[in-house]
Amino acid sequence: MIEADIIQLQEDISGLEAMTQPISPDNAIGRLSRMDAINTRSANQTALNAARVRLVKLTKTLPKIDSAEYGECDECLSEIPFARLMLVPESEYCVTCSEKLAE
């Protein structure tokens, strides 16, 4: 599953990189259309950054799958529930510790 996610993220990143190219000022698209294009580019840039971060995390997680530490919370050392690992395989913290660290 992680390998499939990595492949999908790599494809997504390629597409997002194409959609985040600078918008040329001499592009004759009307003022409002240009503002929409700039806003869309900004949203795509945010998605691109998130995809890159997740790709790095998944790439670091993949070799750890077979180790005893995988699935163990880095904070409290309790077992991370399997359902959480299925949704977010790069999880380093259980839900309780994630919430505490986010505060």
Q: 98 pLDDT band (50/70/90 cuts)?
A: very high
Is it the case that residue 69 has pLDDT exceeding 80?
yes
Is it the case that residue 81 has pLDDT exceeding 90?
yes
Residues 101/93, Cβ–Cβ less than 8 Å: yes
Q: What is the pLDDT of residue 25?
A: 65
Which is more confident, 13 or 31?
13
99: number of Cβ within 10 Å: 10
pTM of the model: 0.76
Q: What is the pLDDT of residue 77?
A: 94
Q: What is the pLDDT of residue 103?
A: 85
- E-only strand ranges, 1-103: none
Q: What is the pLDDT of residue 26?
A: 59
Burial 45-78 (b: 16+ CB within 10 A, else e): eebbeebeebbeebeebbeeeeeeebbbbeeeee
Give the DSSP per-residue string, 24-41: PTT----HHHHHHHHHHH
Spatial distance between the Cα atoms of 8 and 90, rounded to a whole number of angstroms: 15
Mean pLDDT of all residues in 32-51: 88
Q: What does the domain layout of the chain look like in residue ranges?
A: 1-66, 68-103
Q: For the chain, give the number of residues.
A: 103
